[in-house]
Amino acid sequence: MSIPQAKMELRPLGNTGLKVSSIGFGASPLGSVFGPVAEVDAVATVREAFRQGINFFDTSPYYGGTLSEKMLGKGLKALQVPRSDYIVATKCGRYEEGFDFSAERVTKSIDESLERLQLDYVDILHCHDIEFGSLDQIVSETIPALQKLKQEGKTRFIGITGLPLDIFTYVLDRVPPGTVDVILSYCHYGVNDSTLVDLIPYLKEKGVGVISASPLAMGLLTEQGGPEWHPASPELKSACKAAAAHCKSKGKKITKLALQYSLANKEISSVLVGMSSVSQVEENVAAVKELEGLGMDKETLSEVEAILKPVKNQTWPSGVDQK
């Protein structure tokens, strides 16, 4: 059975040969991380995303204490399309019970993930939030264990994820070229913080694919603002709130503007956005289509950039309670 797929821009991912949709499906909300999501809704959301041309799905055993992987697995299985029609990334090393980047744990982890996802292999296996482990262990123990899993065919490619940008250069400078295929950065390529851009020439030179997540800065660039636990400074929170209010006063949505800003940089292969309902998928895909057609609302963007200028590129320390 084939599902007629809408055309979505596909971008090459480093040297992997994979072509990923410019917008990627962030599956953490399917783990009921931000509120309950029924299985029937999770399955419908995955189906709608695929139908709209999204071919890249990202999850982790950490999201919803393994629930995200299970829900995504059910959604992908229900598509009943060839496995080569979609690209799946999951992670290892971070779990509900804590961090464990040992070779033994990550080797066991992929088998558990594949079972939950109902897959024979994943396309990308990331070490999840490596700043919480020992980076030297990641280099000397975790990545070699992942290379073994790659040889066994359990993952096609290897990635690393985390918040501080210097973790990527630390690891990539210490592993043989071509060992790490992809990095996943979050909260560093959006209207309020675009520091990831400084790292792109280095990553390109190493042939490493770039995925960016959280274009809405973990909720800061939304009308309702970030969650209570958001680690940003009060200044950054209030500037983002002012920017959101400004957009609203003009009848515009800051979420759309922020997403389009992140999507406009073609050096970033895919922008991951969390989705847990058909309407969210539709809204995100509409933002992509509008960007490809009419382009971005440059006037509102420059007004928002002016509001955010005093806090531009201000980040926050990595906190264990972050999703």
Tokens linked to 246 = 């400004």
Position 3 scores a pLDDT of 78
Residue 244 has pLDDT above 90, yes or no: yes
Position 229 scores a pLDDT of 86
Q: pLDDT, tens digit, for every residue of 30-56? A: 988 778 889 999 999 999 999 999 999
Amino acid identity of residue 253, one-letter, is: K
Position 250 scores a pLDDT of 97
Position 252 scores a pLDDT of 96
Q: pLDDT, tens digit, for every residue of 274-302? A: 999 999 999 999 999 999 998 999 999 99
Percentage of the chain lying above the pLDDT 70 cut: 98
Tokens linked to 167 = 């973790």
- Angle, alpha carbons 187-290-281 (nearest 5°): 60
Position 212 scores a pLDDT of 98
How far is 109 from 112, CA to CA, in rounded Å?
Answer: 5
Q: pLDDT, tens digit, for every residue of 167-180? A: 999 999 999 999 99
Position 7 scores a pLDDT of 87
Position 322 scores a pLDDT of 45
Average pLDDT of the residues of the chain: 95
pTM confidence score: 0.96
Q: Is 261 a catalytic residue?
A: no
Position 28 scores a pLDDT of 94
First and final C-alpha spacing in the chain: 36
Position 168 scores a pLDDT of 98
Position 321 scores a pLDDT of 46
Position 1 scores a pLDDT of 59
Q: What are phi and psi of 165, to 5 degrees?
A: -70, -25
Q: pLDDT, tens digit, for every residue of 6-30? A: 889 999 999 999 999 999 999 999 9
Per-residue confidence at 188, pLDDT binned at 50, 70, 90?
Answer: very high
Residue 159 has pLDDT above 60, yes or no: yes
Q: pLDDT, tens digit, for every residue of 104-146? A: 999 999 999 999 999 999 999 999 999 999 999 999 999 999 9
Catalytic, out of 63, 86, 186, 261 = 63
Position 312 scores a pLDDT of 96
Residue 323 has pLDDT above 90, yes or no: no
